[in-house]
Each structure stands twice: as structure tokens, then as C-alpha cells.
Amino acid sequence: MHMLKVSDDLILRPVNLQDAKALFSLTDDDRAYLREWLPWVDGTKTEEDTHNYITFSQKGENDGTLLNLAIIWKGKVVGITGFNNINRTNRLASIGYWLGSEYQGNGIMTSAVQTLTNYAFKELNMNKVEIRAAIKNKKSRSIPERLGYVHEGTLRSNEWLYDHFVDHAVYGILADEWDQ
């Protein structure tokens, strides 16, 4: 995969090693904000940690098991989205995402997830796309809700965030339900 053009200002492309500095800086500058919902923030202490994440992402892309994409808005890396799991046997893809706080409120993530959902159904031949978000993470939950995903249920104590468990809301949409 080379690139997904979402709009004139917004593209999604596979992360590459040249993104390490920008991604680490974005993470480091927004550490307290990101830490509220993302379990990997404390483990990302150096640019080398981000480099290792990118290498892991490239291996997963080559294996066809995941696809992590840099979100490029107006020429700048502003976050990550993609498929954190691609299950070809069951034709199920799981979308994950995060966006720097200063870039929120511009419709970036909604447009990115809409494009990814289209890609999952049209290019990857998935039957279902799933999104999970912490129950109290209203911003993250609003993305699938806005796009017409179905709230399928709650997974109790599904993720450990530093010193406590959080429940996850599970959203899903089937290929024959997606009309965008």
C-alpha cells in the first residue's frame, strides 16, 4: 500500500523510519493527554522506541496482519491510524487511532476512519470492521458512532491503563451495512 488520499489536506500512508522524529515529538509533547487512554505512552521514552514501533509496524504490514498509517494533515504528521489487527480467516479488521490534541476538532479522524473502513471493505475484502474504545473516552467513541457503526457491547476490564482497568465499548459494522 502506498497512500490513501482522504482530501487535499489529508493523506494516510504507511509509517516509515523517517517519521520517527515527528511521531516521537508528537507523543512527547502530548504525553499527559495521550496517557489517559493509551497504554503504550510510558513505554515510549525515546525516539528509538518510536523507531522500534515503526519497524514492528513494517513487519506487520509485510505479514499482512496489521497496517499502521501516519496521518498527514497539511503536510505534517499529526497522529496514527490503521488496522491494529487484520484477521483474513474471519475477514475482520480492527481499527485503532490517536491524534495529537491540537489537531482535534477538524474532522481529521472521522474522515480517516471513514476512508479506512472503505479500504477494508473494498480493497481487503473484509466482512466486518471493529473499533474498540474505553467506555469513558467520549471523543474516541464518537468516531464510530458518527459513522454509523453499531455499539455491539461492552468488554469489562478489557485494558490495563497504568494503575487501573478500563471497560471497552465495542463497535462494529458489516460490509453489507456500509453505505459510504
pLDDT digits 0-9 by tens, 63-93:
999 999 999 999 999 999 999 999 999 999 9
Indicate the helix (H) or strand (E) that contains 157: strand 150-161
What is the phi/psi pair of residue 150, to 5°?
A: -95, 130
Query: pLDDT band for position 180 (50/70/90)?
Result: confident
- Nearest CA to 83 out of 128, 47, 42 is that of 128
CA-CA distance, 109 to 111, in Å (whole number)? 5
Percent of the chain residues past pLDDT 70, beyond the cut: 99
Q: Indicate if the pLDDT at residue 153 is higher than 90.
A: yes
User: Domain extents for the chain?
Assistant: 4-177
Residue 50, CA atoms < 13 Å, CB-side half-sphere: 21
Domain 4-177 is in which class?
Answer: alpha beta
pTM of the model: 0.94
Yes or no: say if 143 and 131 are a contact pair by the CB < 8 Å rule.
yes
All three cell numbers of 68: 499502521
Residue entry with cell 470492521: 129
- Residue 179: other Cβ atoms inside 10 A: 6
Q: Indicate if the pLDDT at residue 132 is higher than 90.
A: yes
- Nearest CA to 31 out of 76, 104, 98 is that of 98
Q: Indicate if the pLDDT at residue 108 is higher than 90.
A: yes
CA-CA distance, 111 to 106, in Å (whole number)? 10
CA distances in angstroms from 113 to 30, 42, 46, listed in the order given = 21, 26, 28
pLDDT digits 0-9 by tens, 28-76:
999 999 999 999 999 999 999 999 999 999 999 999 999 999 999 999 9
Q: Indicate if the pLDDT at residue 1 is higher than 90.
A: no
